[in-house]
Amino acid sequence: TIQFNIEVEFSRAQILFYDANGKLIQTSDIKTKGTGQINVFADDLTSGIYSYVLVVDGKIIDTKKMVRK
């Protein structure tokens, strides 16, 4: 589960998922204003290191890494 908090005033928010090679593997649009969360289904991923990026109105807000064992 990835939790986030987005300012109420935004036009577009997304979480972008990348594999270890930097290839975009999934995009999740965020419709929730304020605090929210999305579930990541690890069964869809092979073992490895992934990163995800929170983008709000075209600006990178935060980047995190996750590991699938």
User: Is residue 67 scored above 80 in pLDDT?
Assistant: yes
CB atoms inside a 10 Å sphere around CB 35: 9
pLDDT tens for 34-45 read 899 988 877 778
Residue that the structure tokens 């995009």 belong to: 27
pLDDT category, 1, cuts 50, 70, 90? confident
Residue 41 to residue 11: CA distance in whole angstroms: 27
The beta-strand segments (E) located in the chain are 2-6, 13-18, 24-30, 34-38, 48-56, 59-68
What does the block give as tokens for 25? 């593997």
Chain-centre distance for alpha carbon 35: 14
Mean pLDDT for 38-67 is 90
pLDDT tens for 2-35 read 898 888 788 899 999 999 999 999 999 998 888 9
